[in-house]
Amino acid sequence: MRLDYLTIFPDYLAPLRLSLPGKAVESGLLDLHVHDLRQWTRDRHHTTDDTPYGGGAGMVMKPEPFGEAFDELLGPVPEEVAQQPSRRATVVFTTPSGEPMTQRLAEELATRERIVFACGRYEGIDQRVIDHAREIAEVREISLGDYVLNGGEVAALAITEAVVRLLPGFMGNAASIVEESHSESGLLEHPVYTKPREWRGREVPEVLLSGDHGRIAAWRHDQSVRRTAERRPDLLAPSVLDDGGEIVRAVPADAAELLVLQRACWAQEALANDSLAIPALHESYDDVRTALAEWDTYVVRRAGRLVAAVRGRLDGTAWDIGRMMVAPDLQGTGLGRRLLAHIQAVAPAGASSYVLFTGVRSERNIRLYKRAGFRPRVELPAPPGAIVLTKPRRG
């Protein structure tokens, strides 16, 4: 992986040479380049900022130095790379108005070959720099959180550390990676203790000394839930607090119940279609958790119970809709219709059509989809025993 940093304070990024990324450079896993943005200025004072058009306080970073830096580091983009989005470099703008940095985003960035960090200062960077970058690279605007820093350098450092420690061959410690999947449960970690057993009159909780692994696991889980409810109720909200029948975004903590509902719903499909060769029926808990990270998934709860779900993901210009499920006792109550309308409504701007499939003998599903304007497309390839339905997106 190659990482470049554009900054007017290159010294701020010196820690990259120490600590974790430093070791990855030594092992050849990482290629790091810190650039002083002023090398791409042409005036005597090496100016990188100017006053904002339209007035207002503060200074805005000028477009030209970033433009020339991109030309040198990224351009010209060969035609075949421009056509293949997955081969483009990623440009990360650190900004308080970006998408929040998360472990999921770190995992995504860890798959990239090339990331250029553009560190903004002052009130931000001229918008045309970001618009231009979108034409030559994948652009991500990322925020560390809802607070203000003096500039993007510290944010770029934090993002780098979160990404680099995920690179294959970097940690060399399988146990800590297993540990990590714990945090994907959507709960905060439980408290931890080490020797001595008693310190300044404080004892280690007795259960941890009991040697009873079942009790220890139950205690830790309980501590995790309490901590999460206390410090991060937002992580529990959709799964525990929301039961008003609203359609809400799924969280990792929904995975286990989603799996149960999915098995129930697709067992019904297996019977209707006289086939067990249905992927949704065979997925494991891990498969469902992975899918939650890769799809936009929505769920509905009633009285705390997870009763319905649907997911969507962009495939080229098609909004791929799937895993539409409604608990057996609530089928025929209009929930499916609502979910289908919702998942179409949240499709991103790049979607020009909707596509889904269902069992050729799943008559109720097919009726629901037809009523919503989907048309069966027998000429399109579908999994065995399934039929594809599509609908153009209007507006």
> Does residue 191 interact with ligand 97T by CB under 6 A?
no
Instruction: Give min distance, CB of 156 to ligand 97T, in A.
Output: 8
Say whether residue 105 binds ligand 97T (CB under 6 A): no
Which is nearest to 91 in space by CA: 142, 128, 126? 142
Nearest to 89 by CA among 142, 121, 21, 135: 135
User: Rounded to the nearest whole angstrom, what is the least distance from the CB of residue 181 to ligand 97T in the complex?
Assistant: 26
Q: Is 345 in the site for ligand 97T (CB under 6 A)?
A: no
Q: Which is nearer to ligand 97T, 117 or 319 (CB)?
A: 117
Site string for ligand 97T, 132-151 (x = CB under 6 A): -----------xxx-xxx-x
Cβ neighbour number for residue 379 with a 10 Å cutoff: 6
Ranges of H-type helices in the chain:
19-26, 63-74, 79-83, 103-109, 127-136, 153-164, 174-183, 213-231, 233-236, 255-273, 279-282, 285-294, 335-345, 363-371
For the bound state, the minimum distance from the C-beta of residue 159 to ligand 97T, rounded and expressed in Å, comes to 9
Chain residues 155-174 in contact with ligand 97T, contact rule CB under 6 A: 155
Dist CA 108 CA 121 (whole Å)? 26
Nearest approach in angstroms of CB 155 to ligand 97T is: 4
271: left (phi over 0), alpha (psi -120 to 50) or beta: alpha
Task: Copy the structure tokens of residue 73.
Answer: 């580091």
CB 119, min distance to ligand 97T, A: 7
Q: Please tell me whether residue 59 binds ligand 97T under the rule CB under 6 A.
A: no
**Contact assessment for residue 365 and residue 374, using Cβ atoms and an 8 Å cutoff:** no
# of chain residues touching ligand 97T (CB under 6 A): 13
Identify the burial level of 87 via C-beta atoms within 10 angstroms of its C-beta, where 0-12 means exposed, 13-18 middle and 19 or more buried.
Answer: middle
Return the bridge partners of 299, or none: 248, 309
> What's the token pair of residue 30?
């990482």
> 153 or 269: whose CB is closer to ligand 97T?
153
Amino acid, res. 178: V
Least distance in angstroms from the C-beta of 186 to ligand 97T: 23
247-306 residues in contact with ligand 97T (CB under 6 A) are: none
4/269 with CB nearer ligand 97T:
4
Kindly state whether residue 22 participates in binding ligand 97T, applying the rule CB under 6 A: no
DSSP for 102-158 reads -HHHHHHHTT-SEEEEEE-BTT-B-HHHHHHHHHHSEEEEEESSSS--SBSHHHHHH
Strands 353-359 and 318-326, sheet pairing: parallel
Using rule CB under 6 A, residue 57 touches ligand 97T: no
Quick check: 244 binds ligand 97T (CB under 6 A)? no
Residue 7 sits in the site that holds ligand 97T (CB under 6 A): no
Q: Which of 21, 65, 120, 359 binds ligand 97T (CB under 6 A)?
A: 120
- Which secondary-structure segment (H or E) carries 230? helix 213-231
Comparison of 95 and 239: residue with beta carbon closer to ligand 97T: 95
77 is a site residue for ligand 97T (CB under 6 A): no
State which of residues 21, 65, 152, 186 lies at the interface with ligand 97T (CB under 6 A): 152
Least Å distance, CB 83 to ligand 97T, is 32
The answer to whether the CB of 390 falls within 8 A of the CB of 377 is: yes
Interacting residue ranges for ligand 97T, rule: CB under 6 A: 94-96, 120, 143-145, 147-149, 151-152, 155
